Amino acid sequence: MFSTMAQRLQELMVLFFLAIFSKAVAGLKPYTRANLMPDAANNNYCLSWRLAVEANNVRGWRTVPAQCLRYIEAYMIGGQYDRDLEFITQQIWSYVSGIVPSSDGLDAWILDVDDTCISNVFYYKGKRYGCDPYDPAGFKAWALMGGCPAIPPLLRLFLDLVEGGFKVFLVTGRDQESLGQATADNLHNQGFIGYERLILRTASYKGQSAVKYKSDIRKQLVEEGYRIWGNVGDQWSDLQGEFLGNRTFKLPNPMYFVP
């Protein structure tokens, strides 16, 4: 009798726990990848966005998506940006090693300045790595300080090109009248010594796109007899248009877009 009652009590307890468990399971949210790894899902989106930007599939963007702030910050200062620069510079060196400059002094390379030769990462940290809109007055004040550090692999590349007998032209969209001297001093202080010419945007190019302006500069150099072996920049507008040279090399920059 007692064993029958104990067995019945055990059965009732099992039924009770099964009922409680079924209610708990019914209240669970369905499995989704977002619920499991929300940070990873956001990083995946931002990785895709950055890849599309670097491939020039996303154009005319004004700011970095707000949800990508931490991702871009980690990319720019966490080491991957530096590794990408080193990798691309190695590709440039491999190409340069196969060129034998002539003795006429007309073998040329073109390098952009901002975020190609010298870095604005510290400035853009204050602009949330591009999540804030472009601030012309703020950037001008920063550039006038002349404190942009050299980008190490590009400085080494520059010095090797000069030592190797190439004429290096630094072509920038910075305004010649207001930023010419500060830019020249900044470059000199960071070790960019020995270039053939620093070319800045004059009043005659005001309002024109970077593609139009830089195409005209390259055309002038070709008409002077220079052979452009390579063209390096962080913006697609550095590398589009006419008279591009034998090869172009795009450096990473997910912080801003110059049309």
pTM: 0.84
Per-residue confidence (pLDDT) for residue 7, from 0 to 100 = 52
Alpha-carbon gap, residue 145 to 142, rounded angstroms = 5
What's the gap between Cα 245 and its chain centre?
22
Please check whether residue 95 is in contact with residue 157, taking contact to mean a CB–CB distance below 8 angstroms: no
Per-residue confidence (pLDDT) for residue 5, from 0 to 100 = 47
Per-residue confidence (pLDDT) for residue 28, from 0 to 100 = 38
The pLDDT tens digits for 15-33 are 444 343 344 334 434 333 3
Residue 168, helix vs strand vs coil: strand
Please check whether residue 132 is in contact with residue 72, taking contact to mean a CB–CB distance below 8 angstroms: no
Please check whether residue 150 is in contact with residue 118, taking contact to mean a CB–CB distance below 8 angstroms: yes
Please, which contacts does 141-144 make with residues 24 or more away whose CB atoms are closer than 8 Å? 143/174, 143/179, 143/182, 143/183, 143/186, 144/178, 144/179, 144/182
Q: In the chain, which stretches have pLDDT less than 70?
A: 1-38
Per-residue confidence (pLDDT) for residue 8, from 0 to 100 = 54
- The DSSP-derived string for 52-110 is HHHTT-S-S--S--GGGHHHHHHHHHSSHHHHHHHHHHHHHHHHHTT----TTS-EEEE
Per-residue confidence (pLDDT) for residue 41, from 0 to 100 = 85
Domains assigned to the chain? 36-250 (3.40.50.1000)
- Residue closest to 210 by CA, chosen among 227, 226, 234: 234
Residue 165, helix vs strand vs coil: coil
Per-residue confidence (pLDDT) for residue 47, from 0 to 100 = 97
